[in-house]
Amino acid sequence: MNEQRIRKEAKALDDAIEKGNIKEILPFFSNDCKIELFGIELQGEKGLNRALEWMNNHLSNIKLTPVVIMVENGTFFEEFIVDANTANGNRVKIKQAEVLKYNKDYKVKSLRLYFDRLLLAKESANNIFEKWLVNRIISSSTKGLD
């Protein structure tokens, strides 16, 4: 598979995500794609739609900034920064990593997305109790590292 073509397709996918239009994102994926998010595996067009609707319900005005990109044997790995608004209007920056596997038609057949969901929860919290609870979980999970 052509590395430059994969890079070009991945960049076009990122551009479509930044536009926030699900209909523009769908053609980048194969009909039998698999999406892994939070350890949940979603399959096919129905699963892809669920993942994209989840993203649009939680984030808007998305800006994606690549940090590291690697391509090998039809697999695209990217570490990147997501800068977006949360559903409650807060601005959040989250470092993420994704692994995209492409088929011979340069469609994504597999997407695995990794990020700190506690950071998203912290910025999405709507009241003082939710913020306190998320901060408490973050604090206890990193105890001993600071």
Give 3-115's CATH code, choosing from 3.90.1150.10, 3.40.50.1580, 2.60.120.680, 3.10.450.50. Answer: 3.10.450.50
Digit-coded pLDDT (tens) for 88-144: 888 889 999 999 999 999 999 999 999 888 887 887 788 889 889 988 988 888 888
Instruction: Compute the half-sphere exposure of residue 119: CA atoms within 13 Å on the CB side of its CA.
Output: 16
pLDDT of residue 145: 84
What are the residue ranges of CATH 3.10.450.50 in the chain?
A: 3-115
User: Residue 111 forms beta bridges with which residues?
Assistant: 35, 100
Burial of 59 (0-12, 13-18, 19+ CB in 10 A): buried
